[in-house]
Amino acid sequence: MAFRPPPPPATVNSGSAQGPAGQPRWREILAPGLAARVGLIILGVWLNAADALVTATVMPSVARDLGGWAWFGWAVAGYLLGSILAGASAGRLADRLGLTSALVLAAVTYAAGCAFSAASPGMALFLVGRLAQGVGGGWIVGLCYVAIGAVVPERLWARMFAATAGVWGVATLLGPLVGGLAAAAGHWRWAFWAFAAQGLAFAAAAVVLLAGARPAPGGNPRRGAPWRTLVALAAAVGAVGAADIAPGLLWPPALVATGLVLLALAGWVNGRPGERLLPRDAARPATTAGAGYAMIVTMEASTMAYGVYGAAILQVVYGLSPLAAGYAICSLAAGWTVMAFVVADQPERRHAGLIRAGAGLNAVGIALLALVIGLGHLWLVVGAGAVTGAGFGLCWSLATRRILIAVPPEDQAAGSSAVPTCQLIGGAVGAAAAGAMANLVGLAHGFGADRAVAAAPWLFAAFIPLAALGWLAALRLTRPLPAGTKA
């Protein structure tokens, strides 16, 4: 969905210096000597969090200027694919280069990608920039979590993770504003130049503020990244994405099928020695953990048509400004946030039912979007987006907990990091698939109002089966197990 933060790793809150209720005080993270470093970490998370909403808001303007409607989905898929590649190597990058040098490299890569996108005369260079942004942004957010462990006292970790989660809420408010104002002024490139400048400022601040900071011991800089798994995964996304521009009626489905085969191959390679991007059970949907990861991938992928094309459709069908369209598609994030608070304190006996209900509500939301997107009633579209997001809010955190309980003890670290990785994989595959479907229904060459009204329902309806698979995976995740049965 690209509008939610990945869950932070679990932490233990210990130590003294606590508040009246036995918890650390918020003001401690703003203490002299720590506040500037905290601000740097917050800026790094912001660069990643705001990207999806800014890009979704300006992409219709980008496509009109660069003539890239057929490559629309790649603007998101390329960024997410770069984030996956970077996420698999962020920790090793810190081990090899040191935390400060790694962050500088990440920020410069991100800024260069933004500059490529901003200065690009055509869609090809724009997409190169998006891929570089994804690599830099993925490194930055991964290294920011490393920085929390390196420069923030352990007793304040829970506060820091709460603060970084809050950045995503701020991004939901400000991201469409940044993108919408730039697009409305006819200068979408300003948004990317602004983020390039922030990336360079982040690099300069990291040199000053993190001098001497060291990541926690225990890394292995000689251990290679799971490149075979990553190559197979990149090929899978590439094959699905190639269907965006494939001619005729046979090539697009053939390329999508090839992508699915390559995705299965990536799961098989992941189980080979030295290729553990994900836990071993992640590619085994018959297991409890595997069903949970399958649920994350399919639910995330099912919403990407709304994230990639929602703003463009709302602009041409409903006559919304870029700013208004950007905020309208945020109804999905709002629904998720509200329901996440509702279920936060629910007793464990209700978790299974809430997970199943959430996955089912997500499928209902996708079906509603297909039904109402062309009817001309904006409030119905916003409501359907909120229903879809509410489904995520009901089940996401509870499903994550159930997955981690089912993962074997030796895979706990990999199991935790696999949740956001599967989210990125689902987003990348879903964005590429949305572009392929847009090609099939005739949206690859422009967004006239009549064409969008006729094609948009089919674009969303194509993802109903994927959302249904997410619900079936939720049923498997929540099945009762006989006593003593291994998940």
Q: What is the mean pLDDT of residues 388-405?
A: 87
Q: What is the pLDDT of residue 94?
A: 81
Q: What is the pLDDT of residue 23?
A: 58
The string of pLDDT tens digits covering residues 422-481 is 888 888 888 888 888 888 887 766 677 788 888 889 999 999 999 999 999 999 999 875
Q: Which domains does the chain have, with CATH numbers?
A: 30-215+222-226 (1.20.1250.20), 285-479 (1.20.1250.20)
The string of pLDDT tens digits covering residues 74-115 is 888 888 888 888 877 777 788 788 888 999 999 999 999 999
Per DSSP, the three-state class of 444 is coil
Q: Which residue has the higher pLDDT, 246 or 304?
A: 304
Pair of tokens at residue 233: 């995964």
Per DSSP, the three-state class of 229 is helix
Q: What is the pLDDT of residue 221?
A: 46
Is a pLDDT exceeding 60 seen at residue 51?
A: yes
Q: What is the mean pLDDT of residues 149-167?
A: 75
Say which residues have a Cβ less than 8 Å from residue 303's Cβ, sequence separation at least 6.
Answer: 1, 332, 362, 366, 388, 392, 430, 463
First to last CA, the chain: 28
pTM score, whole prediction: 0.80
Q: What is the 3-state secondary structure (H, E, C) of 284-346?
A: CCCCHHHHHHHHHHHHHHHCHHHHHHHHHHHHHHHCCCHHHHHHHCCHHHHHHHHHHHHHCCC
The string of pLDDT tens digits covering residues 183-229 is 888 889 999 999 999 999 999 999 988 876 666 554 444 556 677 88
> Average pLDDT over the chain, rounded to whole?
81
The string of pLDDT tens digits covering residues 324-349 is 888 888 888 888 888 888 887 788 88
Distance CA 462, CA 433 (A): 10
Distance CA 63, CA 60 (A): 5
Query: Dihedral of the CA atoms 60, 5, 140, 83 (nearest 10)?
Result: -60
